[in-house]
Amino acid sequence: MECYCYILECSDGTYYTGWTTDPARREKQHNHGRGARYTSTRRPVRLVYVEPQPDRANAMRRERKLKMLRREQKQKLIILHPLDRPASQKIADALVVEEKQSFHSKI
């Protein structure tokens, strides 16, 4: 059975990473408060990244690796593999990441 790793963007701008067999259904569950405890207080959430995996074991391993990424690394992943977002939003997202990286490198 094919599984998916996914990243949700929460209303407070944080990211939540998980795995599922149906990303759209899982996003709805999170938005109805039936997902993770973390997302239940940060609704609405938006699905921003999906990565197919061949099976549950691989999905769980990949989820662990994604959770270990720093925020900036997750943002780059999301920008490089967007989910049907308008081109203007993709460009704006890329600029925000670059500005944040530039700011942090000056500190």
Q: Spell out the domain ranges in the chain.
A: 3-106
Select 3-106's CATH number: 3.40.50, 1.50.10, 3.40.1440, 3.90.320: 3.40.1440
pLDDT tens string 40-54: 999 999 999 999 999
Residue 23 and residue 45: Cα distance in Å, rounded?
12
H helix and E strand count, the chain = 5, 3
Q: Are 48 and 76 in contact (CB under 8 A)?
A: no
Identify the pLDDT of residue 88. 44
Rounded to two decimals, the pTM is 0.78
Q: What are phi and psi of 15, to 5 degrees?
A: -115, 145
> Which structure tokens are listed for 85?
């977002």
Tens-digit pLDDT string for the chain (107 aa)? 899 999 999 999 999 999 999 999 999 999 999 999 999 999 999 999 999 999 999 999 999 999 999 999 999 999 999 887 554 454 555 555 555 555 556 55
